[in-house]
């Protein structure tokens, strides 16, 4: 293996060596990062408190004395005040004495040394590069791949720094894994995930690494969304990636597009009139919407729909969405109860007069849920093969309908009765006052975990089976064709079917109810709908 000691020797005089001891280097780097933060604070404070600003800058100079970039930035801040010009000049002279080759050059040389096999030189130049730019967790992870004896120490330290290159964090994690540094690799993957890495191969590798029990506690896993275990989130994403790979969009989307050109598709401009006619006809009717959440539950009920997904990832996929819906672990629910619920859910799908499904446009552009939705499409193919085509529309048209007709005014104005099933006790009353509805009936249910109000923290795990069973027994439809608005997640589809069985009309409005009440429970999906909020 060739080496490049001559190159290193010829340039030693121009290179201020970083601390030789890794612990010293990490302490120095932490000081540099702290200095950057202090200078951020000083810049924010500048002009409001001259003495406080100067104190912060002085502290940053002490903490970041090893970084020419820190000293240069501190000098710029000092020179903004005429009284600091002399001190600024002195700092710049210090910075010039510190500096050698610029950071990109040193980093490139470090990588060249690593390729040559000269790891000591690679480490030295990489440390130098990191002291000549704002510290970055991804570069520290790359150093961990070079400093084998200190890989875990360095990777652990990297968690304290911002990661600006998720791809580099992923590649270094893969290298650490190949080198046998499993805990260091897991930390690298943690950092990459937090930085936004969502590459399919990475997710599956990360999920498999997290399957190792030794990876769960040492070091502690980062928190998952809504308080659920982090590995559920990663494994669920890995499952989606596998499902997406098994059925590429270019093979599925044309089938969905052809459905949207058929006589059984209700388009954006036709849906309002279609629903108004159902209400005028006063005949039993159910519109339910199915999307990625319901798809995950169907994949749980029918594992063969997702044959490419390992059992552990399939379990995480189902447990995650169940937790989102109910704030409890699916594994804590009796299997027989889940199976019975599954049968009710599938009956609701089969009985629905109008199904809201993912559209071709959605499937083409969705990089997060496509795999789950492909499983739903396979389920629909089976259903249509048994029952024939159903009338369908886009699952997201509940929001579109509200944009065209805010608060569904043309459907609800002046009605003699409207029923509501939702996690918002005042929703029915607000609709009654707005639309002049004669009579209302409200069925209050626990909200999904992501609503995150105090009540969601107190009533976790109560919706199913207890409250669900009670509402199914108590539901009353006062007359044939009485309309109900339903916002109940998975169970909402079954409530819709029960309303239909009792002679009513059920419209699945979903998270639109949250927006009307001022809660954005879906992020960007509800951003537009948040423009319309019901007056109290």
Q: What is the pLDDT of residues 70-85, one digit of tens each?
A: 999 999 999 887 788 8
With CA atoms as reference, report the closest residue to 16 among 140, 131, 120.
131
191 found inside a domain: no
Instruction: State the pLDDT confidence band at 17, using cuts at 50, 70 and 90.
Output: very low
Q: Is the predicted pLDDT of residue 18 greater than 60, yes or no? A: no
Over range 299-311, report the average pLDDT.
95
Token readout for 465 is 């089976």
What domain range includes position 301?
A: 248-536
Q: Is the predicted pLDDT of residue 11 greater than 80, yes or no? A: no
Instruction: For the chain, give the mean pLDDT.
Output: 92
Side by side, the strands of the sheet bearing 392-394 are 392-394, 354-357, 285-289, 505-508, 483-486, 417-422, 439-444
Neighbours of 138 (CB within 10 A): 23
60 found inside a domain: yes
Over range 365-377, report the average pLDDT.
95
Q: Is the predicted pLDDT of residue 62 greater than 90, yes or no? A: yes
Instruction: State the pLDDT confidence band at 102, using cuts at 50, 70 and 90.
Output: confident
* Dist. CA 314–CA 24, nearest whole Å: 45
137 found inside a domain: no
Instruction: State the pLDDT confidence band at 34, using cuts at 50, 70 and 90.
Output: very high
169 found inside a domain: no
Over range 116-121, report the average pLDDT.
94
Q: Is the predicted pLDDT of residue 321 greater than 70, yes or no? A: yes
Which pLDDT score, from 0 to 100, does residue 47 have?
Answer: 73
> At 146, which helix (H) or strand (E)?
helix 137-146
Which residues 6+ apart lie within 8 Å of 356 measured at CB?
Answer: 287, 288, 289, 290, 291, 392, 393, 394, 395, 396, 397, 398, 508
Over range 507-520, report the average pLDDT.
98
Over range 217-233, report the average pLDDT.
86
Which pLDDT score, from 0 to 100, does residue 215 have?
Answer: 77
Which pLDDT score, from 0 to 100, does residue 5 have?
Answer: 40
| Domains in the chain, number | 2
* Dist. CA 76–CA 70, nearest whole Å: 10
Percent over 70 (pLDDT), the chain: 96
Over range 225-241, report the average pLDDT.
95
Listed in sequence order, the DSSP H helices in 327-423 are 335-351, 360-365, 370-387, 397-404, 409-412
Which pLDDT score, from 0 to 100, does residue 217 have?
Answer: 67
Over range 10-38, report the average pLDDT.
74
Q: Is residue 447 within 8 Å of 423, Cβ to Cβ? A: yes
Q: Is residue 45 within 8 Å of 77, Cβ to Cβ? A: no
535 found inside a domain: yes
Which pLDDT score, from 0 to 100, does residue 433 have?
Answer: 98
Q: Is the predicted pLDDT of residue 227 greater than 50, yes or no? A: yes
Q: Is the predicted pLDDT of residue 355 greater than 50, yes or no? A: yes
Token readout for 206 is 């990360």
112 found inside a domain: no
Instruction: State the pLDDT confidence band at 20, using cuts at 50, 70 and 90.
Output: low
The last residue of one of the domains, among 51, 76, 98, is: 98
Which pLDDT score, from 0 to 100, does residue 80 have?
Answer: 84
Angular region, 448: left φ>0, alpha ψ -120 to 50, beta rest: beta
Q: Is the predicted pLDDT of residue 13 greater than 80, yes or no? A: no
Q: Is residue 394 within 8 Å of 362, Cβ to Cβ? A: yes
Percent over 90 (pLDDT), the chain: 84
* Dist. CA 205–CA 203, nearest whole Å: 5
188 found inside a domain: no
Neighbour-count burial for 267-304, b at 16+ CB within 10 Å, e otherwise: eeeebbeebeebbeeeebbbbbbbbbbbbbbbbbbeee
CA distances in angstroms from 80 to 37, 65, 77, listed in the order given: 19, 20, 5
Listed in sequence order, the DSSP H helices in 199-310 are 200-210, 230-246, 249-260, 268-281, 292-301
Over range 105-120, report the average pLDDT.
93
Q: Is residue 191 within 8 Å of 185, Cβ to Cβ? A: no
Write out pLDDT tens, residues 467-500: 999 999 999 999 999 999 999 999 999 999 999 9
Residue 439 has phi, psi (to 5 degrees) of -135, 145
- Return the SS3 of 467: helix
Over range 430-434, report the average pLDDT.
98
The last residue of one of the domains, among 64, 81, 98, is: 98
Q: Is the predicted pLDDT of residue 101 greater than 90, yes or no? A: no
CA distances in angstroms from 477 to 230, 294, 378, 533, listed in the order given: 43, 26, 34, 27
* Dist. CA 17–CA 106, nearest whole Å: 11
180 found inside a domain: no
Which pLDDT score, from 0 to 100, does residue 1 have?
Answer: 32
Over range 222-235, report the average pLDDT.
92
Q: Is residue 232 within 8 Å of 321, Cβ to Cβ? A: no
Which pLDDT score, from 0 to 100, does residue 219 have?
Answer: 74
The last residue of one of the domains, among 42, 63, 98, is: 98
């Amino acid at each position: 293996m060739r080496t490049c000691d001559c190159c290193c020797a010829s340039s030693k005089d121009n290179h201020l060596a970083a601390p030789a001891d890794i612990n010293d280097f990490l302490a120095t780097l932490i000081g540099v990062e702290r200095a950057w933060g202090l200078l951020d604070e000083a810049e924010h404070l500048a002009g409001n408190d001259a003495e406080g600003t100067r104190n912060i800058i002085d502290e940053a100079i002490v903490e970041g004395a090893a970084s020419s970039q820190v000293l240069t930035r501190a000098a710029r801040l000092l020179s903004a005040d005429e009284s600091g010009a002399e001190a600024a000049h002195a700092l710049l002279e210090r910075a010039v004495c510190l500096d050698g080759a610029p950071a990109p050059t040193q980093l490139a040389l470090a990588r060249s040394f690593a390729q040559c096999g000269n790891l000591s030189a690679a480490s030295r130049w990489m440390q130098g590069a990191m002291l000549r730019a704002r510290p970055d967790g991804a570069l520290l992870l790359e150093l961990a791949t070079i400093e084998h004896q200190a890989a875990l120490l360095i990777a652990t330290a990297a968690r304290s720094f911002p990661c600006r290159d998720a791809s580099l964090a992923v590649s270094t994690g893969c290298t650490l894994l190949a080198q046998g540094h499993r805990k260091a690799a897991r930390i690298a993957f943690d950092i990459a995930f937090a930085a936004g890495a969502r590459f399919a191969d990475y997710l599956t590798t990360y999920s498999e690494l997290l399957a190792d029990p030794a990876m769960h506690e040492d070091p502690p896993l980062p928190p998952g969304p809504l308080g659920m275990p982090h590995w559920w989130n990663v494994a669920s994403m890995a499952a989606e990636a596998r499902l997406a790979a098994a059925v590429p969009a270019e093979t599925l989307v044309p089938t969905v597009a052809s459905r949207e050109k058929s006589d059984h598709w209700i388009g954006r401009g036709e849906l309002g009139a279609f629903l108004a006619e159902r209400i005028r006809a006063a005949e039993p009717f159910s519109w339910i919407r199915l999307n990625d959440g319901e798809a995950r539950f169907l994949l749980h009920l029918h594992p063969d729909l997702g044959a490419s997904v390992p059992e552990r990832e399939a379990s995480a996929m189902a447990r995650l969405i169940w937790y989102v819906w109910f704030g409890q672990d699916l594994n804590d629910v009796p299997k027989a109860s889940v199976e019975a619920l599954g049968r009710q859910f599938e009956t609701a799908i089969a009985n629905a007069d109008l199904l809201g499904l993912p559209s071709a446009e959605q499937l083409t552009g969705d990089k997060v849920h496509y795999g789950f939705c492909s499983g739903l499409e396979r389920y629909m193919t089976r259903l249509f093969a048994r029952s024939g085509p159903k009338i369908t529309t886009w699952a997201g048209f509940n929001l579109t309908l509200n944009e065209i007709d805010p608060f569904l005014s043309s459907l609800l104005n002046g009605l003699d009765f409207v029923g509501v099933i939702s996690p918002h006790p005042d929703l029915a009353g607000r609709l009654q006052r707005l639309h002049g509805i004669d009579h209302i009936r409200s069925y209050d249910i626990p909200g999904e975990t992501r609503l995150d109000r105090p009540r969601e923290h107190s009533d976790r795990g109560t919706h199913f089976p207890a409250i669900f069973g009670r509402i199914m027994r108590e539901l009353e439809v006062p007359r044939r064709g009485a309309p109900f608005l339903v916002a109940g997640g998975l169970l909402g589809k079954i409530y819709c079917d029960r309303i239909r069985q009792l002679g009513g009309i059920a419209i699945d409005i979903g998270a639109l109810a949250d927006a009307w009440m001022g809660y954005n429970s879906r992020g960007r999906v509800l951003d537009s709908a948040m423009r319309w909020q019901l007056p109290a």
